Amino acid sequence: MMDAIVCRNLLFGYDAKPVLWNVNITIPEGDFVCIVGPNGSGKTTLLKIALGLLKPTSGTIEVFGQRPERSRGRIGYVPQHPQLDPLFPVSAMDVVLMGRLGRARSWGAWGSSDREQAVRALDEVGIADKAGHHFNSLSGGQKQRVLIARALAGEPDLLLLDEPTAGLDAHIEEGFYRLLQELNQRLTIMLVSHDLGFVSGFVRTVVCVGKEVVVHPTSAITGQVIADLYGSDMRLVRHDHRCSHDGQDQNGHES
Amino acid sequence: MIFWEALTTHSFLQYALLAGLLVSIPCGVVGSFVVIRRISYIAGGIAHSVLAGLGIVHYLQVVHGMEGLSPLGGAVIAALIAALVIGWVSLNLKQREDTVIGAVWAMGMATGILFISMTPGYTTDLMSYLFGNILMVTSRDLWLIAGLDVIVLVTVALFHKQLLAVCFDGEFAGLRGVHVQRFYFLLLGLTALTVVLLVSVVGIILVIALLTLPAAMANLFARRLWQMMLLATVTCIVLTTSGLALSYAPDLPAGAVTILLTGAAYFLTALVRRR
């Protein structure tokens, strides 16, 4: 099996101020990874490097064995909830079809295979009935699903999500992670989140971005790891109902 | 009504009506992109730069006897140059876009005024450049307008997918392999051509209202881009035709009447559709 993402001695800095240094991570295909870390730690930077939007200052990153720019066609990107003009005249279907760019013919109208693929993507995220709705009339959770469907419409092998649940209610968030779990059966998924406690019940691997970048299997996340990452005043809150298999590791920690 | 009777006998009125219809189509189509991409200030800068093209052609015609030159052709070239400069400088020199627009806007007008002042003779043309004179549209102008219409419409028909995606979420479009900058320039070029078409109807200073307000009104009702374009085109046809008809009998400037109607319609619609 090929690795989805491999970083070797990766270093990144804005104006000589290092944001990420000495990142060595290998993410195998089929993994479900969450990048966590405090604000400003470089979580989103790591994601943008994987997309080829930012170039590492030194070191290498490969996505499916190639430079990120060359693998973009295999990546589905779900950006942080974009601030959009509320009157922007697009339906949910129009937005999802944009994910077909690069696969569809470049001139003229969308082809029937593009429409089929877009409908399939909307169906997969469970909102096929909203296809014709004005994008901005949808709820926050539905919009987020449309943006995932847009990423899926490009038939990706790797899904990258930037803070996908920011601003969503907790009960919507849970359904959202269940959807990602289902998608993980055929896709590699990497997401950025501020909320480790919640995510740890769903993901397999946690990448902690802080003073250094450390990879943990989910079960190894302890209070001490969190304290090291976020600083000593961090306090874990138990979410027993979502952490049945590794709840023992998530006992409240205070130092 | 006097206008409709006169229409059957005066060919200049027929030309004016036809010109209004012909410019309404790109007005609705490109105006919709201008509104959703929020580049109406760029369109304003391009419009004012058109005076440079008109002034230079006028100068060459009168002073150097180059009668074959077309003012509309000069306008097209000036508008395209202005669009290129605004796009290139704001993308490559990391200058604030609104500052660049302001510079191009004023320099275009200054160039135009310079050439007009060097041209001997009566400067009545200046007024019709600035405020439009749809009644002076000739049959040759109509062919040029129709040609520009075809260019604009074919381009949008071919690349509407990319144009919409770039307006909606440029970063995502870029990740899907769309050349975002190239399509941004294409959009600016289309805006430039549309501005020139509208200048022949309402003049340089009033263009911005006719380009954006029908699309903005349509946006209050349309849920999808093609609906917005269609509705904006129909709105533009109704406004240019009624501007012409209402101004004819009392002998008022058609451009000014059209713009006042457009503005009034916009504010009324916004009031009715407020949420």
Cβ neighbors of B273 (< 8 A, separation 6 or more) are B220, B221
Question: How close B112 comes to chain A (CA, Å)?
Answer: 37
B275 touches A: beta carbon within 8 Å: no
- pLDDT the model gives residue A211: 63
Q: Kindly report, residue by residue over B162-204, the tens digit of the pLDDT.
A: 999 999 999 999 999 999 999 999 999 999 999 999 998 889 9
Which residue in A82, A101, A134 is closest to B177 by CB distance? A101
Domain ranges for chain B: 2-272
Counting Cα atoms < 13 Å in the Cβ hemisphere of B139 gives 1
Q: Kindly report, residue by residue over A156-165, the tens digit of the pLDDT.
A: 999 999 988 8
| A191, containing H or E segment | strand A188-192
B232 touches A: beta carbon within 8 Å: no
- pLDDT the model gives residue A218: 73
Provide the CATH number for the domain formed by B2-272 in this structure: 1.10.3470.10
Which residue in A77, A106, A109 is closest to B175 by CB distance? A77
Q: Kindly report, residue by residue over A94-135, the tens digit of the pLDDT.
A: 999 999 999 999 999 999 999 999 999 999 999 999 999 999
Report how far residue A70's alpha carbon sits from residue A58's, in angstroms, rounded to the nearest whole number.
Answer: 19
Whether residue A61 has pLDDT greater than 60 = yes
Cβ neighbors of A223 (< 8 A, separation 6 or more) are A236, A250, A251, A252, A253
Q: What is the mean pLDDT of chain A?
A: 82
Rounded mean pLDDT, A42-55:
90
Q: Per-residue confidence at A226, pLDDT binned at 50, 70, 90? A: low
- Taking the C-alpha atoms of A53, A56, A62 and A68 in order, what is their torsion angle to the nearest 10 degrees? 20
Which residue in A87, A88, A109 is closest to B168 by CB distance? A88
Domains of chain A, with CATH numbers?
1-64+157-255 (3.40.50.300), 85-156 (no CATH)
A110 touches B: beta carbon within 8 Å: yes
Q: How many interface pairs between A and B have CB atoms less than 8 angstroms apart?
A: 71
Contact yes or no for B172 and A97 at CB 8 A: no
Chain B residues near residue A98 by CB distance under 8 angstroms: 161, 164-165, 168-169, 172-173, 176
Residue A173 near residue A165, CB atoms below 8 Å: yes
Q: What is chain B's pLDDT, residue by residue, as a tens digit (275 residues)?
A: 688 888 888 888 999 999 999 999 999 999 999 999 999 999 999 999 999 999 999 999 989 988 888 888 899 999 999 999 999 998 888 788 889 999 999 999 999 999 999 988 766 677 888 888 888 888 888 998 999 999 999 999 999 999 999 999 999 999 999 999 999 999 999 999 999 999 988 899 889 999 999 999 999 999 999 999 999 999 999 999 999 999 999 999 999 999 999 999 999 999 998 76
Which amino acid, residue B74?
G
Q: Per-residue confidence at A231, pLDDT binned at 50, 70, 90? A: low
- Taken in order A209, A214, A218, A222, the sign of the CA dihedral is negative
Report how far residue B138's alpha carbon sits from residue B58's, in angstroms, rounded to the nearest whole number.
Answer: 16
Which residue in A75, A82, A89 is closest to B227 by CB distance? A89
Q: Is the pTM of this model over 0.80?
A: yes
Chain A residues near residue B158 by CB distance under 8 angstroms: 107-108
- Phi and psi for A143 in degrees, rounded to 5? -60, -45
A67 touches B: beta carbon within 8 Å: no
- Taken in order A66, A69, A72, A75, the sign of the CA dihedral is positive
DSSP-derived 3-state class of residue A18: strand
Question: How close B213 comes to chain A (CA, Å)?
Answer: 14
Chain A residues near residue B273 by CB distance under 8 angstroms: none
Report how far residue A131's alpha carbon sits from residue A124's, in angstroms, rounded to the nearest whole number.
Answer: 12
Whether residue A233 has pLDDT greater than 50 = no
Contact yes or no for B36 and A85 at CB 8 A: yes
Chain B residues near residue A95 by CB distance under 8 angstroms: 168
Chain A residues near residue B28 by CB distance under 8 angstroms: none
Q: Per-residue confidence at A190, pLDDT binned at 50, 70, 90? A: very high
